[in-house]
Structure 1
Amino acid sequence: MHYQVRIAGEGENWLRLELVSVPLSMGNAIRRLIINEVPTMAVEEALVIENTSILTNEVLTHRISLIPFVTDLDNYVLPEECDCGSNLGCDRCSVRFSLRCAATNEVLTVYSSDLVRESGSEVVRPTSGEFQIVKLAPGQNVELELYVRLGKGKKHAKWQPGIATLYEEDGRRVLYVESFGQLPPRRILLEAVKIFEENVTELENSLEKVIGSGGGEG
């Protein structure tokens, strides 16, 4: 069957598709895959070396973990697909950042732009340098090691690549995708379609084994 799709509108971080002959169930499956299955990068492990700020270690690391990172899907794999066996990852599944800031004579605001990449792809970086992390009073300082890794939205919302909605407009079925900045919207959509195809192939192979062998439970 041939499915017809048209681009109804596009911007830097959004894409609107008209699903001309795509079944509603298929469009909704792709929408759910975008939200739950397309991987992006975020801080998964944070080692607090020193923290004399007003924030507790838990609150500080939680704020940092919610910072979205521009994602490199071509050179990194999900932690569960890597054979390194390390909680902190390796060059195939982790990018290491550090945060070292100290306030001397006046209040210092620490931003995501203060994160320093220590290893890994130069592609990986915060989507914006303007995310405020913490304010340090004179004499306070923070020092952390951060490990950025791939993850999926079904595990935690910090890994969601964006929003995806499916709706009817003037008799047309429309899929709207908006990126949070980790990946371009076109890449998000293509990754979701690839995952959809892989899932269908896996299901098809499983059915062939069961039906072909006459097995299964009655």
Structure 2
Amino acid sequence: MARNRMPKVKVNEMEEHYAQFEIHDTDCSVANALRRVMIAEVVTMAVDLVTFEENTSVLNDEIIAHRLGLIPLKYQYREGETRLRDDIRTTLSSERDIQRRFRFTRECDCDEYCQWCAVKLTLGVAFDERAKHRPEREKDLPLVVTSNDLISEDNDVRPVHFETDAEADDSVDQGITIVKLAKGQELRFTAIAKLGIGKEHSKWSPVSKCVFRPQPHVHLDDDAISKLPPALRDLIIQACPAGVLGYNDDDAPPENRKLVVKNDAAILDFVDDVKTLTQRLSPTGKSMISAFASDTNFIFDIESVGSIPVDDLVLCAIYELKRKLLDLQLAVNDLKDDDDDD
């Protein structure tokens, strides 16, 4: 008999572009469904159509258009300034959800595209024009055209030039490189960005990393391990790659140092080797360490490409998963009603 579970979430780390959190009291199918929705079904915006007016660079139009599609575009809700759609019929996961501002082009009643279903971005860079404003020693160097040269006609949408402020400070470029221009070369185009999901094309996927793993349960027999000579304790640590096992305090005297797991994610891969070794080292022949993977608790690691903050990304994925489950429930109820009618 299935029991009703009440999953709980524990956030270990949360930044704008990275998050690690744990989900407790659920099962692998739910965790994997959440992962797949985050990768393939959270709505984002990306360049989908490019019209070139001038391209004398070394790259042809198709390659540049492909690169433009992979530049993340971030939607920024501006309270009091952003005009939201007035035809929303369902409650979305967040006020910052991009679907409160834009609709899919295929669902819009405009002739081609409009402010409610698309965003126009333009770029116009000529080497000779830029060279006039460069220092003399740089006049003949290739000109790097980056995402910073893209001009968005919608203040709510802008290209993401760097993942973090630290990356922006360390980089020698002014954004994501599109192409390099030499003397006499020029690039001008108009790009149309539209809504989409990763299932249609990977350029709409909001994540660069989205993985989960079972939470390991580890037990160390501290009393038995503490009775071993320091050299044998070092041998247990060396049975795993560096960083998996270690001491709680490397500077403490050997007799006061306690063996601990440094990397929970890796211990499951090497626990069999450690168990075999500690069985041979133990006077009783019993293993001094055991570990197994939980089938109800899972750890997620997520990195965003920058188009959506990670917290919004998770909320949008949960909303989408709930919507799918509701649609499934309605479809099942319809089938039951049809059977009853028959």
Under a length normalisation based on structure 1, what TM-score does the superposition of the two structures give?
A: 0.91
Q: Please, which runs of 5 or more residues in structure 1 have no aligned partner?
A: none
Task: Write the deviation string for residues 121-180 of structure 1: whole angstroms up to 9, x where unpaired.
Answer: x13111115111111111111110011111111111111100211102323411222111
User: Does the alignment pair 1:176 with 2:301?
Assistant: yes
Q: Does 1:157 align with 2:202?
A: yes
Residue 185 of structure 2 is matched in structure 1 by 140
Would the aligned equivalents of 1:18 and 1:175 in 2 still touch at CA under 8 Å?
yes
**Deviation (angstroms), 1:115:** 0.6
Structure 2 CA distance for partners of 1:215 and 1:141, relative to 1, 3 Å: farther
- 2:338 is matched with which residue? 213
Structure 1 partner of 2:48: 44
Q: What's the counterpart of residue 272 of structure 2?
A: none
Amino acid at match of 2:144: T
Contact 2:196 2:204 in 1 (8 A): yes
Secondary structure of 1:190 counterpart:
helix
Deviation at 1:80, TM superposition (A): 2.5
Q: Which has the higher strand share?
A: 1
Alpha-carbon shift at residue 27 of structure 1 (Å): 1.1
Aligned to 2:28: 24
**Secondary structure, aligned partner of 2:36:** helix
Moved runs in structure 1, 4+ residues, more than 3 A? Answer: none
CA contact (8 A) 2:16 2:311 kept: no
Q: For residue 113 of structure 1, what is the aligned residue in structure 2?
A: 148
Which segment drifts farther, 166-175 or 22-31? Answer: 166-175
Amino acid at match of 2:190: E
Supply the distance in 2 between the matched residues of 1:51 and 1:215 (Cα, whole angstroms): 65
Structure 2 unaligned regions, length at least 5: 77-97, 132-139, 162-173, 218-296
Query: Shift of the alpha carbon at 1:85?
Result: 4.3
Per-residue Cα deviation, 1:71-123 (whole angstroms, up to 9, x for no partner): 3503112222322242xx21111110101000115332111100112x22x13
Q: Does 1:80 align with 2:106?
A: yes
- Provide the rounded CA distance (Å) in 1 between the counterparts of 2:189 and 2:340: 55
**Structure 1 counterpart of 2:148, which letter?**
S
Aligned counterparts of 1:26 and 1:200: Cα–Cα separation in 2: 11
Q: CA deviation at 1:35?
A: 0.4
- Percent identity between matched residues is 31
Structure 2 letter corresponding to 1:125: R
Give, in angstroms, the shift of residue 70 of structure 1. 0.7
Q: Secondary structure at the match of 2:68?
A: helix
Whose helix proportion is higher, 1 or 2?
2
Larger CA deviation: 3-12 vs 95-104:
3-12
Residue 11 of structure 1: how far off its partner (Å): 2.3
